[in-house]
Amino acid sequence: MDYITPQRDILFSLSEVLGYCAHSTQLQNAESVDDELLASILGEAAKFVEAELNPLYRSGDEQGCRLEGETVSTPEGFVEAYTRYIENGWPSLAAHSEFGGQGLPYSMHTLLSELLGSANWSWSMYAGLSQGALNTIFAHGRAAQKQRYLPHLVSGSWTGTMCLTEPHCGTDLGMLRTRAEPNDNGGYTLTGNKIFISSGDHDLTENIVHIVLARLPNAPAGTKGISLFIVPKMRIDEEGNITGRNTVNVGRLEEKMGIHGNATCALNFDGAEAELIGPPHQGLACMFTFMNLARIGTSIQGLSHCERAYQGALHYAKDRLQSRDLRGAARPDLPADPLTTHPDVRRMLLTQKAYAEGLRLMLYDLACTADLAHEGLDEAQQKLAILTPIAKALATELGIECASLGVQVLGGHGYIREWGMEQNLRDARIGSLYEGTTGIQALDLLGRKIVGSNGALLRPVLAHIDQRARRSDSPHAPVLLNALALWRDTSEALLLAAWSDPREIGAASVEYLLLAGHVLLGYYWLCADETATAATAQSDEPFYRAKRKTAHFYFQRLLPKIEGYAACLRGGAQALMAHDDDEL
């Protein structure tokens, strides 16, 4: 199954709907982007991923990674593709110019991430985590640390990881045991074990910069006693030159359901040399710089699986002949009609299309909001607080759904390896687990953000959608306003319920997030419909007609799911909590 970059839809989303070029001129700390530059970057990135990464999609999955001595070997072709990735300057695209970057907005990195991930998600993870390590050091590191590490991360000659989880604790980081002892030279000696470390070791670069959570001696218990450290795989001197191997070792490679081309490692830190980054005991707050970017990156994974599933299913359905149209032969010249003739196949294809294109708009808007938040705009930071958990959870859940539909469209052929659909489904499944499960994102949204702010963070988001819908001439605007009213009423009801029983938050959170996410997608489809409608007055391009029809499909067939979510929420926590443990 080949991946073809949806350049037309990406340019529609960024340029026509979101007004990306005007957005970039608002940014004080980044170069502005015009339509010509945007199209040029997109075109070159498309050439790279289609020529270099897509051909490694299946072979990387079949070969996997191998632990040989102290080093992990990646699948054939991964090293060469990464070398060309560096030679083409892609790692520096949205990096800070003072450290060798091209200084383009962070949102340009999001565009690149979609293409890399859709072509080959396993390969893209090696490059993807470096952006989080880079930004964490830029935000919290000392000047000397920035000079030693950032030029290498910007160029791509070094990559980065985030090291949180330990064998005895996953989400509950307050239980972590990794220790960092101060030593005589002003540094630290770090000892402990971390698991599930994506890209934890590999042969693509000469060094890997691990960003690690650990405890200092006499640190307070729980999350208030966590500090953050830089632990390079290879020791470096004050000028950033490699001096030898640090005591960071791969205990094992995790045997996983999918993403076989990426080395997910258990790492042992055996008295490794480490540097404190940020204030002592405030490591979790500093690490959120990394984690929030990783959550946006993982939401891109969901989009990538939606897009890849749609392309593969559509290609197959157009060519595959199966049965006859219920009204009679649609293609009497053929022995049977194409799968695209049948309503249920169209239901699956249009679900994939509507989710992929709607998520693309949502995630690019999220990235543009992150651009503004990075420059300190309070309104953008507040919007980001609401959108990030919704985007991460919704996109990855829909990525799984669309990948599963891809298997279903192909039938038995989807279940075997030949077509790549079963790999897409296996690779997609991790998205709703790492960087905070769907349940954790939902608790963050409803508990921390909405109940925690007594609704203050949510109200501007609802008001913006309300104003846009009331100004709209789209026939879908009244439908969106009704959906928005349901979101608002549900939010108010849950705010009241949470004060009487906090368990109501946990019982309602996932369905609440899915409801909110589908209303948000409705907002983006309204924007797309408005833009396409205006464009059809000037152009007869079939693209715009298809966009309007897909918007209609979304409002008629997918947005109504929110009624089911709302019905679940009205049931409250009682049905979930009624069983005693021995009755489960």
| Distance in angstroms between the alpha carbons of the first and the last residue of the chain | 43
Q: What is the structure's pLDDT at 69?
A: 86
DSSP 494-537: HHHHHHH-THHHHHHHHHHHHHHHHHHHHHHHHHHHHHHHHHHT
Q: How confident is the model at residue 287 (pLDDT cuts 50, 70, 90)?
A: confident
Mean pLDDT of 165-175: 84
Q: What is the structure's pLDDT at 330?
A: 82
pTM to 2 decimals?
Answer: 0.97
* pLDDT greater than 90 at residue 306: yes
Which residue bears the tokens 């102290």?
Answer: 70
Tell me whether residue 379 is one of the annotated catalytic residues: no
Q: What is the structure's pLDDT at 424?
A: 98
* pLDDT greater than 80 at residue 290: no
Q: How many CB atoms lie within 10 A of CB 25?
A: 10
Mean pLDDT of 39-64: 98
Long-range contacts formed by 90-97: CB under 8 A, 24+ apart: 90/45, 90/48, 90/127, 90/156, 91/127, 91/130, 91/153, 91/154, 91/155, 91/156, 92/154, 92/155, 92/156, 93/41, 94/30, 94/131, 95/134, 95/153, 95/154, 96/138, 96/150, 96/154
Among the listed ranges 217-226, 343-352, 456-465, which one has the minimum average pLDDT value?
217-226
Q: What is the structure's pLDDT at 466?
A: 98
* pLDDT greater than 80 at residue 26: yes
Q: What is the structure's pLDDT at 288?
A: 81
The pair of structure tokens assigned to 153 is 């991360």
Q: What is the structure's pLDDT at 370?
A: 94
Q: What is the structure's pLDDT at 334?
A: 87
The pair of structure tokens assigned to 166 is 């330990």
Pairwise CA distance, residues 206 & 447, whole Å: 43
Contact 192, 271 (CB under 8 A): no
What digits encode the pLDDT tens for the residues 71-113? 899 999 999 999 999 999 999 999 989 999 999 999 999 999 9
Rounded CA Rg of the chain: 24
Mean pLDDT of 331-338: 89
* pLDDT greater than 90 at residue 70: no
Q: What is the structure's pLDDT at 532?
A: 98
Mean pLDDT of 402-426: 97
Pairwise CA distance, residues 126 & 518, whole Å: 31
* pLDDT greater than 90 at residue 173: no
What digits encode the pLDDT tens for the residues 209-246? 999 999 999 899 998 999 999 999 999 999 999 999 99
User: Which candidate in 166, 435, 504, 530 is catalytic?
Assistant: 435
Instruction: Provide the total of helices (H) and of strands (E) in the chain, helices listed first.
Output: 20, 11
Q: What is the structure's pLDDT at 4?
A: 98
The pair of structure tokens assigned to 253 is 């490679």
Q: What is the structure's pLDDT at 263?
A: 98
Q: How confident is the model at residue 381 (pLDDT cuts 50, 70, 90)?
A: very high
One-letter identity of residue 432: S
Report percent pLDDT > 70 for the chain: 100
Question: What three-state secondary structure class fits 395?
Answer: helix
Backbone angles phi, psi at 286, to 5 degrees: -65, -40
Q: What is the structure's pLDDT at 30?
A: 87
Q: How confident is the model at residue 540 (pLDDT cuts 50, 70, 90)?
A: confident
